[in-house]
Structure 1
Amino acid sequence: MDDQQLKHLFDQQAAGYDARWAKLAPIRESLHLLLESLFAELPARARVLCVGVGTGAELEHLARAFPGWDFMALDLSGAMLEACRRRAEAGGFLARCSFHEGTVDSLPDAEAYDGATCFLVSQFILDPSARTAFFRSIARRLRSGGMLVNTELSAATETKQFEELLRPWVRMMATTPEVSPATIEKMREAYRQDVAILPAAAIESIIELGWFSAPVQFYQAGLIRGWFSRSR
């Protein structure tokens, strides 16, 4: 999907997004716990870029854990950014947040960021060279050695292991425990057409080509994997 298609998709989903994915809270919370530990080495007055921030779940966690930090919340979807803004206002950390609707490349010039998050974003970039360019755009916004923490849907989709994992993964996200073969196939087709699910090694190579150090995988829950790396 291109940027306009993604914007339209997430504008439509913003209002019910948190409620729709509430059952995945244990995955999100374990990821945030590890994110906090990884980012603990950032400066006391760090500036953090949240790419594809959505409704702002990881931003809220970091804002509460590190009261001296400031944040740039970036998303293609204005509706998602508005939901993030409301979260920040309700949580009492709005004054520490800036908001930008658009791509990383469209951010105004500013002091480099100390760290960046990018959760389940680059998987929507189907072209590998464009995906590499995306990570380079983040690297350009970070200070030298700034940390990127990102997550992706990742698997070797042509393997038996992927087929074995796909059914419980779809069942977890479904509203009922019964998952029909048609539902599995619909999910598989969506992953084929709209999401670039790649093996871990391929994603790590793309990130490294995007001007980051060799990524270190620190997290996996089902099809979601997470890495951290540093800008060069």
Structure 2
Amino acid sequence: MEEIVARFSDPEAVAGYSDGPVRYVPGLADLHRMAGVLLAERAPDNGRILVLGAGGGMELKALAEAHPGWTFVGVDPARPMLDLAERKLGPSAERVEFVHGYIDDAPEGPFDGAVCLLTLHFLDAPERTRTAGEIRRRLKPGAPFVAAHVSCPQGEDEQDIWLSRYAAFAVAAGEEPERADKWRSVTAANRNLMFSPEKNAAILEAAGFSDVALFYAAFTWRGWVAYA
């Protein structure tokens, strides 16, 4: 994780972060919108929401604007990314408690819902299960958890096909081909963490969540909703 935190603490990476995910994650704005819809099915109008991997502030901003009565705890291990989130949120930052650290540094809750987007794929299976379990432990009974991260089929040669599509989408969205190929290579180097959709769902179940359901699928990305 030290390498990942260092990457997201680099000033150049932080400065260009807002342009990156929209080029690599198909329908990112809609993913944020869907996350809000799924949380709102059970979270009250004055709900308190835990956001793990909140650096950059994209999902925080989308959720805060769509649900003006919610308050948030945003957790991230990269301090510069938390600072970026605070700037992005503007006046809405008053409704966010920013926590520099990992899930173990988050308040105990209980929270009315939680979200973790584009983050859990950095963790191996045991740590991913443990982290999901710590999120569940901080939720009220029946509260929703929305997660989305890298996940694709694991059959022979399938990862390479999907990674090529991942890079091709980025180029179609305006990314420089050389840069898209670089990030394809970076992702491929961590292919041992690119679990199948079925394994990711099983991890959430092992962490104690119930009614795990896939709601988002976009090339190398998948998203699930589950309940504490």
TM-score between both structures, scaled by the size of structure 1: 0.87
Paired amino acid for 1:76 = P
The answer to whether the 8 A contact 2:163-2:184 is kept is no
The answer to whether the 8 A contact 2:212-2:224 is kept is yes
Between the aligned residues of both structures, percent identity stands at 29
Cα–Cα, structure 1 residues 189 and 223, in superposed 2: closer, same or farther, change >3 Å? closer
Is 1:205–2:202 an aligned residue pair? Answer: yes
SS of structure 2 residue aligned to 1:215: strand
Counterpart pick for 2:115 among 110, 114, 117: 117
The answer to whether the 8 A contact 1:155-1:197 is kept is yes
Cα–Cα, structure 1 residues 118 and 163, in superposed 2: closer, same or farther, change >3 Å? same
SS of structure 2 residue aligned to 1:220: strand
Aligned residue for 2:82? 81
Counterpart pick for 1:146 among 143, 146, 153: 143
Counterparts of 1:159 and 1:38, CA distance in 2: 34
Aligned residue for 2:93? 94
The answer to whether the 8 A contact 2:61-2:89 is kept is yes
Aligned residue for 2:126? 129
The answer to whether the 8 A contact 1:220-1:226 is kept is yes
Counterparts of 1:54 and 1:184, CA distance in 2: 19
SS of structure 1 residue aligned to 2:128: helix
Does 113-122 or 168-177 show the bigger shift?
Answer: 168-177
The answer to whether the 8 A contact 1:170-1:187 is kept is no
Aligned residues: 222
What 5-or-longer segments of structure 1 have no aligned partner? none
Counterparts of 1:23 and 1:152, CA distance in 2: 15
SS of structure 1 residue aligned to 2:27: helix
Counterparts of 2:101 and 2:3, CA distance in 1: 13
Runs of 4+ in 1 over 4 A off after TM superposition: 177-180, 182-185
Give the 5 Å matches for 1:154-165. 154-165=151-162
Paired amino acid for 2:121 = Q
The answer to whether the 8 A contact 1:171-1:179 is kept is no
Aligned residue for 1:229? 226
